[in-house]
Amino acid sequence: MSENKKVLSESPPPEENTGGDSSAQKNRDEEMRVNRKVDKGLSLLFQRAGLTSETVSQLGRERSSFGVAWLSASLYARSLESSFKRKIFLEQPCVIDISASKGLSHKKLVFFLNSLPPSVEEVVLDGAVVKGEALPGFLKFLEGRPSNLKKFTFAKNSMGVDEARQVFPAVLPSLEGLCVKDTMLSNKGLRPLSTSIAEGRASSLLSLKLENVGLNLVGLNTLCEALKKKTLLQIETLSLSQNPCCIDRGTRLLSPVLNTDCLPGLRVLLMRSCGMTAPELKDMATILGKGDLPKLETLDFGGNPGGWSLYSEAEKVVALFGKALRVEVLPSLKNLNLVIDECHAYPEDEDVLLNALASADRPPLENVEILLQHLSIEKARSLGGGNYPSIRTLYLHFGLRPLLGAPLPGPEVLVSFLSELLKAQERPQFDALDLNAGCDQSSLMLMEELIRAGRFGCIRKLSLVGLFSQSSDSIFNPFIRLSSAFVETKLCRLSELILDRVQTGGMEILRFVGEAVRVGHLPGLRVLEVSRLMGDGGNEGEWERGESEEIGLGALMRGFVGSVKVPPLERLSLSFGGVGAGVGSVGSAFMSGKLGKLSDLRLDGGGLTNDGLKMLAQAVRGGWLVNLTYLRLPAMSEEDEGWREFMKAIGKSDEGLPRLKHFHPPLPQSLALALRKLPALEAPKDRPTTNTHGPPTPIPRSDMSLVLDEEGLSNMAEAVRAGDLPSGLKSLNISLCESISVDSLLVAIGESEKGLPPCVQGLDLRGGHFREETLAALAASEEKLSGLRHLELGGCDIDDSRLQRLGEVFNAHVCPGLASLWLEENKISLKGVSAFLKALHPESLPTLSTLRFYGQKTTEMQEANKRVFRDRCEDLVKEAKRQGKLTGLSLGGFGLHFFHDF
């Protein structure tokens, strides 16, 4: 790097006292000549390499290539000089993005910013340049930033409240574009921005984007008060997307500023996912209907929940938007997004909107995105016939959700749309079509015809639910024939294929999809889901009773392995009989490198074998599954050998599954073998119950319950010792599936830095055994059981000496949350109970409410002596309570237990 700096530097200043030394002058001239020659050579190199701002940005993010990025930027800056003969060109506008840099100090990044050529108009930054100790250097850069640098984008987690107070006032003067996104600034962090706007510091601003920054109702009110000062008269773009600012009628705050007085030049208004339901959308439709935004060209309300429209007929949301779409109201509107998820308009409401889009009085619309759910048959035909050319992106949801007081639309509406689409003289005008619909045989056959005729190339998402008649075979052939059409026709835009309730034919469908992938006809496929109708009498075909070489999951995976251009598959969800037999082929596909983007894998339907799991385990050991975030595999009727090997592969692999959040193993006994290498694991939705052998357990349901054998306990002990349990688990119960020694776990608790992780709230060690020395060692440590709520030590062969040691453990480890302690079916006498209570400290077990002693295997607990044992124990407990111990324990009811019938 130092050599590069030397080559690019200007000629050194004349040395003092040279006296016109001609030799020194010649040396300087020669050095300048060499520098020019090197500059020309490097410039030629970068020219031929096709230097772009994106390339420079990528190089500037990596430590290994940072020097090349700096060199290219410096050469580009010098090439702009008139004396520089060989020019380097970057596209305009030039944007340099150094967010998400790796291994670079803030000093180097600011140094790079200072070397940017004057033609760079926008930079994208994050916290590496702005936060903490980087802030002073960034503020200094802002003081002398090039005049052409007019736009700043602050990316994810780029600043906090403290930085915002200094950055916004410094960056806004003369700035034309400010974008802050994915940075939770909340009201405190955004207030300096609003204050700067109110004070006129942002008078040059043309674009203001505050996206996913935590702007709420209070912050929106502060911003709107600043806009009322009329200091942003030049603003053309305003984005408040992905903020909860419009909840609870926040839209009313916008009404005084969305007009020509405050924002006369507004051309783009983006309010995606702002929490607007029907009342807020009604407010926005009313604001637009006033005609106070004559220059507005782009309007985006996509992603808002909408909600049910329960207003009178004249006030329904969709109809109100239709009434606002008039040229005298919005004379410049070209781009409109009304993809509002839950705004369930009746057919007559959607008719109003579509009539407005077809009217001669409509704005000059060019690109409309719209969601329609309850079309009339007439409008469905008109839509399929191409009578609404401005609709470029169409979302159709048909026949799945009934409206209040209206019957569920039948498939005839979809059939009408598809029929007109097929008959139209020209191909559909849609750039993208997302279809989510209930389908009968006729609609499926029409879609097949459209694909084979090359008229369905606009399809982007195809989510179909089979609607069945009494005949179980009524949908069978059309679903298979539809998938076979993919083999004949390329669908470049199709990214999601979801076939639900196919009833039969799942294996054949996968075969055709696999072949379509192999020949490159589904290059953009990201989501593939196929499921049969469960619990409705659907009969599986012969091919669905098991995997074969020609059909099923194996055929699908062969398509991926054999594909030259592999689709970027991210989610694969299959649910039908026999699908588990192809799990081994999934492992092979992973190891071929063809499933690198797959993050969500869900397979249900039986057929899983040990061999299949072992193949998947091999892929885990090779690190091929590190991107998985969700994993569900079928149950297996065979022994759990394959599952144990799979879990061991996770536990012993270098990286494990570092991103896996949701995991649903059917055999929780083996999960402990992998737990240390599942750092992102979260609570499963369907929680398994704890071990239920013997009497009912006091341990309640939790996020997760682990049932451990000897090997699993050993792995759990190591995880506890190292503190490696997943941080996403908030409550975990541990129990045993066999009678084993638990010494290793108790020792690990004592030796670990933080003790038993707070997520472990229940320990059910019934049937286990441990040495007295182990308890003594545990008692020698401190504060290692603070999160424990329930402890079950029944049948653990505890005698009086061990019970005394247990009291010493509770003396050393205060358990503020321990609610139940079960000590039944041991060898405890009154002497042991007395020693246990004496060892306790008043603060040891303040919340203990249940203490069980029944079933002791001593002479004191023989039938004739049970009452005496109980009375004496109660006396001992009363004495302990007088000493301030066990304050939460009641002697009656369900507190102190001696017999099974208590």
pLDDT at 347: 83
Average the pLDDT over 515-520 and give the result.
97
Structure confidence at residue 450 (pLDDT): 96
pLDDT greater at residue 70 or residue 512: 512
- Indicate the pLDDT class of residue 340, thresholds 50, 70 and 90: confident
109 or 19, which is more confident: 109
More confident residue, 507 or 404: 507
Q: What is the pLDDT of residues 534-572, one digit of tens each?
A: 443 334 443 444 455 567 999 999 999 999 999 999 999
Does the pLDDT of residue 136 top 90, yes or no? yes
What's the pLDDT band for 746 if we cut at 50, 70, 90? very high
What percent of the chain is helix, strand and coil (3-state, nearest 5)? 40, 15, 45
Give the largest Cα separation in the chain, rounded.
122
pLDDT for the residue 273: 95
pLDDT over 70 (residue 504): yes
Average pLDDT score over residue span 33-38? 51
Decide if 60 contacts 98 (C-beta within 8 A).
Answer: yes
- The yes-or-no verdict on residue 861 having pLDDT over 70 is no
Give residue 541's pLDDT. Answer: 44
| 100 vs 803: which has the higher pLDDT | 803
Task: Give the strands of the sheet with 820-822, arranged side by side.
Answer: 704-708, 732-736, 760-764, 790-792, 820-822, 850-852, 896-897
Phi/psi zone of residue 631: left (φ > 0), alpha (ψ -120 to 50 degrees), beta?
A: beta
pLDDT at 389 over 70: yes
For position 396, what pLDDT does the model report? 93
Please name which of 581, 576, 555, 436 lies closest in space to residue 505, comparing C-alpha atoms: 576
Whether the predicted pLDDT of 426 surpasses 90: no
Q: How far apart, in Å, are the Cα atoms of 826 and each of 535, 775, 795?
A: 48, 16, 5
| Predicted local confidence at residue 537, as pLDDT | 37
d(CA 432, CA 413): 20
pLDDT reported for residue 243: 96
Give the pairing type, strands 268-270 and 850-852: unpaired
pLDDT at 330 over 70: yes
| Dihedral angle over CA of 417, 421, 423, 429, nearest 10 | 140
pTM score of the predicted model: 0.83
Superfamily of domain 682-897, CATH level 4: Ribonuclease Inhibitor (3.80.10.10)
- State pLDDT tens for residues 580-611: 899 999 999 999 999 999 999 999 988 888 99
Question: Which DSSP string corresponds to 666-717?
Answer: S-GGGGGGTGGG-TT----SSPPPPP-SSSPPS----SEEEEE-HHHHHHHH
Provide the token pair at 822. 């079960």
519: three-class secondary structure by DSSP: coil
What tokens were used for 34?
């060499």
Note the pLDDT tens digit of each residue in 754-778.
899 988 999 999 999 999 999 999 9
Lowest-pLDDT range of 202-211, 377-386, 468-477, 645-654: 468-477
Placement of tokens 């919340």 in the chain: 847
Give pLDDT, residue 12.
Answer: 43
The pLDDT of residue 118 is above 60: yes
Q: Where are the extended beta strands (E) located within 216-366?
A: 237-239, 268-270, 298-300, 335-338
Strand partners, 419: none
Q: pLDDT band at residue 198, thresholds of 50, 70 and 90? A: very high
* Higher pLDDT, residue 816 or 85: 816
Among the residue ranges 1-5, 517-521, 618-622, 726-730, the one predicted with the least confidence is 1-5
Q: Which residues contact 850 (CB under 8 A, 6 or more apart)?
A: 698, 819, 820, 821, 822, 889, 894, 895, 897
Selected residue with higher pLDDT from 80 and 290? 290
Whether the pLDDT of residue 684 is over 70: the answer is no
Cα-only R_g, the chain: 35
Residue 831 has pLDDT above 90, yes or no: yes
Q: How would you classify residue 313: left for phi > 0, otherwise alpha for psi between -120 and 50, otherwise beta?
A: alpha
**pLDDT confidence band for 254 (50 / 70 / 90):** very high
Higher pLDDT, 484 or 852: 484
What would the DSSP string read from start to end of 751-768? HSSS-S-TTEEEEE-TT-
Residue 88 clears pLDDT 60, i.e. is over it: no
Note the pLDDT of residue 405: 52
Average pLDDT value for the chain: 84
Domain boundaries, the chain: 1-8+32-144, 682-897
Question: 704-708 and 662-664: which strand pairing?
Answer: unpaired
In the chain, the percentage of residues whose pLDDT exceeds 90 is: 59
* Confidence check: pLDDT of 374 > 80: yes
What percentage of the chain reaches a pLDDT higher than 70?
A: 80
Would you place residue 745 in the very low, low, confident or very high pLDDT band (cuts 50, 70, 90)? Answer: very high
Reported as a single tens digit per residue, the pLDDT across 781-794 is: 988 998 899 999 99
40-86 tens-digit pLDDT:
544 444 444 456 667 776 766 776 666 666 666 666 655 555 444 44
Provide the CA 390 distance to its chain's centre, in angstroms. Answer: 33
**Strand-strand pairing, 732-736 and 704-708:** parallel
